[in-house]
Chains A and B, each alone.
Chain A
Amino acid sequence: MTAAVSIRGLEKRYASVHALQGIDLEIAEGEFFALLGPNGAGKTTLISILAGLTRASAGSAEIMGYDVLHKSRHARRNLGVVPQELIFDPFFSVREMLRFQSGYFGLRDNDAWIDEILDNLALTDKANTNTRLLSGGMKRRVLVAQALVHKPPVIVLDEPTAGVDVELRQTLWAFIRRLNRQGHTILLTTHYLEEAEALCNRVAMLKAGRVVALDHTANLLHSGDERRLEITLAPADQLPAILLPRLVKQEGSLHVLRLLDYADLEGILTTLRTSGVAVVGMNLRQIDLEEVFIRIMGQESDA
């Protein structure tokens, strides 16, 4: 089976920045894949090369087996991209934009699908509004809609939920998930790591133009037996000093403690009991993707 996205030795040099320093990546058809990394890691640069908006300095990339440079028309036909920048065309309404976009892909009479997209993105009542007059979150949704008009097998979303309200984020993800179940491959970048954790089967972490982690989400989360114990203390109480080395995060009276294995739990509970602090809430959970991310990024900068 051909990979949905296949990237080999990809490099990009700008005048003063080596933005991509040799990326190799294969994304299989049907995957829901997250591309994570701090600001400036090279995520958007990578996506721009896939989309044919930027040319690589070295290496190659294919979409559904079509080279993005030499078979660009086929590659683009198979790709839908939601750009990171909030762009719009001030001359036209939402529906006009979607009709144009359909037309550019050679599709006539695409209104049934356009209506379905509008409905799924809660844009139906804005269909005839000029895109200039939409709020930021609505403009973002129109960008998502534009990327989907031609039902592309590979859908790339560059921070699609930045500035989108909670309710709509849920609706958007439900829609994208459905497309994924129907066989569309999804490549996503986001700075909301809980989103990536909930949605994506595989994750690549990028740092300064290199892939520093690439694995199934589950493997990243289960690397080691490390767990987290969240305890909420009564407002007046302090965490016993002996537990401070375990503290990974504190938000007010909520303390998140590192647990290397379940046996640790016993000791912590005893300490809490004997020191006489009042525990008003307690929750045991797995390590989350955000913590994995921070750890991996931290290791890399030590190296």
Chain B
Amino acid sequence: MSGFPMLLRKEILRFWKVAFQTVMAPVLNALLYLLIFSHVLEAHVQVYPGIGYTAFLIPGLVMMSALQNAFANSSSSLIQSKITGNIVFVLLPPLSELEFFGAYLIAAIVRGLVVGVGVWLVGMVFIDPGLAHPIWALVFAILASAAFGAIGIVAGIWADKFDHLAGVQNFVILPLTFLSGVFYSIHSLSPFWQSVSHLNPVFYMIDGFRYGFHGISDVSPWHSLAVILPCTLLICLLSLQLLRSGYKLRT
């Protein structure tokens, strides 16, 4: 029998055991954003006709939290194991690189979705943003969490210390998510910044995800899917290849 289910189970338990930090904390974070931005902007900003700013903001926050936590899950699990040395517990058994990759990736997706649902439920306390196309919403949530979970694997393998990870988080993950239209529609930007935003894959993740809630978006969900699917596959392949090479894990 394969060792994959047990590794997946362990990776999920790892964050679930400390759910206070890994689930509650990010949900609380999103709640603070929601309180502040909706208080300041609700009366002044309407992005789509008939949709209030808070309702517009909720899917953005859900997606942002899901992405960041998917990244945090795989990257912090790997770096912790590398630093404490207990990575050997998963390197000694006959687990293939694909099984290894799959377990860390799926655990990251699960954490992303759990946090996302938490943020969504908290948002519902303020206002129901609707759920026009649940399948679209789910597809984008999974693909985006997968992409960031895979980036987390790459970063976790590459990083030698927590500082390195913090660097990736501050200089890559945070700018990508903040400049993707979480808090605004890119139509409110100047044409130059609009075209820059169109180069950011995270923009399509959030835009497509919003379509799942409001049934309306800046670009068509098919267009977003066509951008994100290859991106996600590419980063997954890269991360699997890195594992196969033994880079920094089997030196």
Interchain CB contact under 8 A, A105 and B94: yes
Task: Give the distance to chain B from A148, nearest Cβ to Cβ, in Å.
Answer: 12
CB proximity to A under 8 Å, residues B73-88: 81, 84-86, 88
Interchain CB contact under 8 A, A91 and B17: yes
Interchain CB contact under 8 A, B85 and A52: no
Residues on the B chain within 8 Å of A87, using CB = 84-86, 88-89
Task: Give the distance to chain A from B158, nearest Cβ to Cβ, in Å.
Answer: 18
Interchain CB contact under 8 A, A88 and B86: yes
Residues on the B chain within 8 Å of A105, using CB = 3, 93-94
Residues on the A chain within 8 Å of B190, using CB = none
Q: Does B251 interact with chain A (Cβ within 8 Å)? A: yes
Residues on the A chain within 8 Å of B93, using CB = 76, 101, 104-105
Q: Does A35 interact with chain B (Cβ within 8 Å)? A: no
Q: Does A178 interact with chain B (Cβ within 8 Å)? A: no
Interchain CB contact under 8 A, A106 and B2: yes
Given that A91-B13, A103-B6 are contacting pairs, would A52 and B91 also be in contact in the complex, using a CB cutoff of 8 Å?
yes
Given that A72-B94, A104-B3 are contacting pairs, would A89 and B9 also be in contact in the complex, using a CB cutoff of 8 Å?
no
Interchain CB contact under 8 A, B251 and A54: yes
Interchain CB contact under 8 A, A104 and B85: no
Residues on the B chain within 8 Å of A100, using CB = 6-7, 9-10, 89
Q: Does B246 interact with chain A (Cβ within 8 Å)? A: yes
Q: Does B95 interact with chain A (Cβ within 8 Å)? A: yes
Residues on the A chain within 8 Å of B14, using CB = 91
| Interface size of B in residues (CB-CB distance below 8 Å) | 28
Q: Does B92 interact with chain A (Cβ within 8 Å)? A: yes
Task: Give the distance to chain A from B179, nearest Cβ to Cβ, in Å.
Answer: 35
Interchain CB contact under 8 A, B92 and A51: yes
Q: Does B167 interact with chain A (Cβ within 8 Å)? A: no
Residues on the B chain within 8 Å of A101, using CB = 89, 93
Nearest opposing residue in chain A for B17, CB measure:
A91
Task: Give the distance to chain A from B3, nearest Cβ to Cβ, in Å.
Answer: 4
Q: C-beta contact mask, B52-81 vs A, less than 8 Å → 1, else 0?
A: 000000000000000000000000000001
Task: Give the distance to chain A from B4, nearest Cβ to Cβ, in Å.
Answer: 9
Q: Does B5 interact with chain A (Cβ within 8 Å)? A: yes
Q: C-beta contact mask, A84-108 vs B, less than 8 Å → 1, else 0?
A: 0101111110001101111111111
Q: Does B250 interact with chain A (Cβ within 8 Å)? A: yes
Interchain CB contact under 8 A, B88 and A53: yes
Residues on the B chain within 8 Å of A55, using CB = 246, 250-251
Q: Does A117 interact with chain B (Cβ within 8 Å)? A: no
Q: Does B90 interact with chain A (Cβ within 8 Å)? A: yes
Q: Does B96 interact with chain A (Cβ within 8 Å)? A: yes
Q: Does A77 interact with chain B (Cβ within 8 Å)? A: yes
Q: Does B172 interact with chain A (Cβ within 8 Å)? A: no
Docked pose: A81 CA to B88 CA in angstroms:
10
CB proximity to A under 8 Å, residues B5-21: 5-7, 9-10, 13-14, 17-18
Q: Does A181 interact with chain B (Cβ within 8 Å)? A: no
Residues on A facing B (Cβ under 8 Å): 51-55, 72-74, 76-77, 79, 81, 83, 85, 87-92, 96-97, 99-108, 146
Q: Which 6 A-B pairs have the closest CB atoms?
A: A103-B6, A104-B93, A106-B1, A104-B3, A87-B85, A73-B94
Given A52-B92, A74-B94, A100-B7, 15 more pairs with CB closer than 8 A: A55-B250, A77-B94, A81-B92, A83-B85, A87-B88, A88-B84, A90-B84, A91-B13, A91-B18, A97-B89, A103-B5, A104-B6, A105-B94, A106-B3, A146-B89
